[in-house]
């Protein structure tokens, strides 16, 4: 088997086994908080804070940096890097309205699941109750 065919086979297996691809297709359920044609935002199953959300492109990309830089001419096509960050901002605004956090942490790690994803973690101030 040539190296090129091996790489394509490995990529196909990665997509077929990708839990986020299965979530995006509806094969695995999630607690969806927002979606459009190209992106999906859902609550993390192991949240570090209330409202911890993941924003993913529905199409499989291994890394955030792998998304195309721009949409093709004519505006038709799938997700792109700039649009992805705009969608992350939209989801962050939804979290602001729901949780009123002091700030929202953004994490781009990509080690735990081999599918591009961005973590949004609202940080709310804990108010002490006076005695």
Answer whether residue 128 is part of any domain. Answer: no
Distance CA 79, CA 1 (A): 32
Catalytic residue among 52, 60, 115, 117: 117
Alpha-helical (H) ranges within the chain are 3-16, 19-25, 81-99
- Look up 52 and say whether it is catalytic: no
In a domain, 93, yes or no: yes
Q: Is the pLDDT of residue 5 over 70?
A: no
Domain membership of residue 114 (yes or no) is: yes
Judge whether 130 lies within some domain. no
pTM, 2 dp = 0.83
pLDDT at 4: 54
Please, are residues 32 and 80 in contact by the beta-carbon 8 Å criterion? no
State the average pLDDT over residues 110-128.
Answer: 89
Residue 93 has pLDDT above 70, yes or no: yes
For range 20-46, the mean pLDDT? 98
Q: Does residue 87 lie in a domain region?
A: yes
Arithmetic mean of pLDDT, 101-127: 93
Rounded distance, CA 83 to CA 63, Å?
A: 15
Assigned domain for 131 exists: no
d(CA 124, CA 90): 19
Overall domain count for the chain: 1
Give the rounded distance of the alpha carbon of 82 from its chain centre.
Answer: 14
Q: Do 107 and 121 touch, CB atoms closer than 8 A?
A: yes
The pLDDT score that the predictor gives to residue 91 is 99
The tens digit of pLDDT for each residue in 60-77 reads 999 999 999 876 666 667
Q: What is the CATH number of the domain that holds 10?
A: 3.30.428.10
Query: Do 120 and 52 touch, CB atoms closer than 8 A?
Result: yes
51 in a structural domain: yes
Q: Is residue 129 included in any domain, yes or no?
A: no
The pLDDT value given to residue 78: 80
In whole angstroms, what is the distance from residue 103 CA to residue 19 CA?
29
């Amino acid at each position: 088997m040539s190296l090129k065919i091996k790489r394509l086979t490995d990529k196909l297996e990665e997509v077929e086994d990708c839990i986020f691809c299965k979530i995006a297709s509806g094969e695995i359920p999630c607690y969806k908080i927002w979606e459009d044609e190209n992106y999906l935002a859902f609550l993390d199953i192991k949240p570090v804070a209330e409202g911890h959300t993941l924003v993913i492109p529905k199409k499989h990309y291994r890394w955030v940096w792998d998304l195309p830089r721009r949409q093709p001419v004519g505006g038709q096509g799938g997700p792109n890097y700039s649009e992805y960050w705009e969608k992350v901002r939209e989801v962050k605004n939804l979290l602001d309205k729901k949780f009123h956090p002091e700030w929202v942490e953004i994490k781009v790690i990509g080690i735990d699941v081999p599918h591009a994803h961005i973590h949004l973690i609202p940080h709310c101030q804990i108010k002490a109750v006076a005695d």
